Amino acid sequence: MYSRIAGTGSYLPEKVLTNQDLEKMVETSDDWIRTRTGITQRHIAHSDQAASDLAFHASQNAMKAAGVTNKDIDLIIVATTTPDMVFPSTACILQDKLGVENCPAFDVQAVCSGFVYALATADMFVSSGKCRNALVVGSEIYSKIVDWNDRSTCVLFGDGAGAVVLSQSEAPGILSSHLHANGSYKDVLSVPGSIGGGVVQGNPFISMEGGTVFKFAVKVLEDVAQEAVTESQLKTSDIDWLIPHQANIRIIRSTAQKLGIPLEKVVVTVDKHGNTSAASIPLALDLAVRDGRIQKDQLVLLEGVGGGFTWGAVLLRW
Ligand code: ACO
């Protein structure tokens, strides 16, 4: 028994914040943002939208593409760092919005690696025969945890959601998954605040050592891609599509170069979406599936890195 992605979906909030808009908010320039990050614009959720709302739209699109209804879904996993509330989980709130009954539903918190962690977890349930159709979602509203006065972080992030339905299959879909973490880097990239005594204690916004994140990301994205292909006795040249976490075009280019993968085989959305954390990989996957780039039987590598640090990859046959 194998698991295979049966359908993908995504959702981006309507409001677009351009680099020119940001020039009016903080001391920055379109040129600085584009040359340092590759980002030209990002989508921003409405103040009354929560992660489960974005997830709901992405999930509906994925379920439609997979040809399943809410009666068919028997597992929901949501990867998010920006949940609707402390509890219940965003997955439980999404379950209610979709009208799915009784199935297990839980969140995964692995920051920008969240979707890869969630997909690897869902694969365990589906390929073992415990579930038939898992809904796996990455949904984020980073605009809520960005300090809009801090130019070193506010230009980087955006909001959005992506989803897949992972179904049982006779033919191999997911070939292997590889998850890692190193908590000794916990202070390099974090939102250090916590809730206590009825208020947020400490800093509620993203705090980041950009240079350290950059170097670490390039190293582990290369390592985990090599690990994934080696375990399947393949080579990086066998990969038809690389879908890395969309943090920064320079990280993406360096990773592709180290792996010897031409940029034409890399799906890039960071220019239009910014960094949408756990949503970036399923958003990029959905785009490349819908515009026809990803074709049946092609080899696709999804890989992410994020706060924790966490990192991981999922290798799959489309
Ligand atoms: N506009 C203009 N100037 C800026 C801005 C801005 N938005 N932000 C910082 N600067 C200034 C700095 O203050 C600094 O000025 P100084 O030299 O006078 O002190 C100067 O620009 C250069 O800053 P650097 O940090 O050297 O710029 P760098 O080329 O390293 O790029 C960046 C910074 C884009 C953050 C880079 O380090 C990076 O991409 N790191 C990865 C971080 C990342 O992707 N985080 C996302 C979350 S993690 C993840 O998703 C994996």
Q: Which CATH number belongs to the domain containing residue 202 in this structure?
A: 3.40.47.10
Q: Are residues 276 and 127 in the same domain?
A: no
List Cβ neighbours of 249 (8 Å cut-off, separation of 6 or more).
37, 38, 39, 268, 270, 271
Domain count, the chain: 2
pLDDT of residue 7: 98
Give the DSSP H or E segment for 252.
helix 249-259
Q: If you average pLDDT over residues 259-264, what whole number do you get? A: 97
Q: At what angle do helices 51-66 and 280-290 cross, to 10 degrees?
A: 30
Contact present, 243 and 293 (Cβ < 8 Å): no
131 catalytically annotated: no
Averaged pLDDT, 66-87: 98
Residues 35 and 135 in one domain: yes
Q: Are residues 145 and 228 in the same domain?
A: no
Instruction: Let me know if 305 is exposed, middle or buried by CB neighbors in 10 A (0-12, 13-18, 19+).
Output: buried
pTM (two decimals)? 0.96
**What pLDDT is stored for residue 164 in this prediction?**
98
Catalytic residue among 61, 133, 248, 275: 275
pLDDT digits 0-9 by tens, 140-187: 999 999 999 999 999 999 999 999 999 999 999 999 999 999 999 999
Q: Which atom of ligand 1 is nearest to the CA of 305?
A: 51
Q: Does residue 265 sit in the same domain as residue 248? A: yes
What's the sign of the alpha-carbon dihedral 181, 271, 85, 91?
Answer: negative
User: In the structure encoding, which two tokens stand for residue 113, read together?
Assistant: 């690696």
Residue 220, H or E segment: helix 210-231
Its domain, for residue 245, covers: 175-317
- Please indicate whether residue 275 is annotated as part of the active site: yes
Query: Which of 138, 170, 202 finishes a domain?
Result: 170
Check whether residue 157 and residue 179 sit in a common domain.
Answer: no
Residues 18, 295 contacting (CB under 8 angstroms): no
Above 0.95 for ipTM, yes or no? no
pLDDT of residue 9: 98
Angle subtended at Cα 40 by Cα 37 and Cα 43, rounded to the nearest 5 degrees:
110
Q: Report the mean per-residue pLDDT for the chain.
A: 97
Q: Are residues 218 and 83 in the same domain?
A: no
245 a catalytic residue: yes
Please state the rounded mean pLDDT for residues 264-279.
98
Q: Which of 146, 170, 194 is the last residue of a domain?
A: 170
Last residue of a domain, one of 153, 170, 187: 170
Which residue's alpha carbon is nearest to atom 50 within ligand 1?
247
Average pLDDT for 57-70: 98
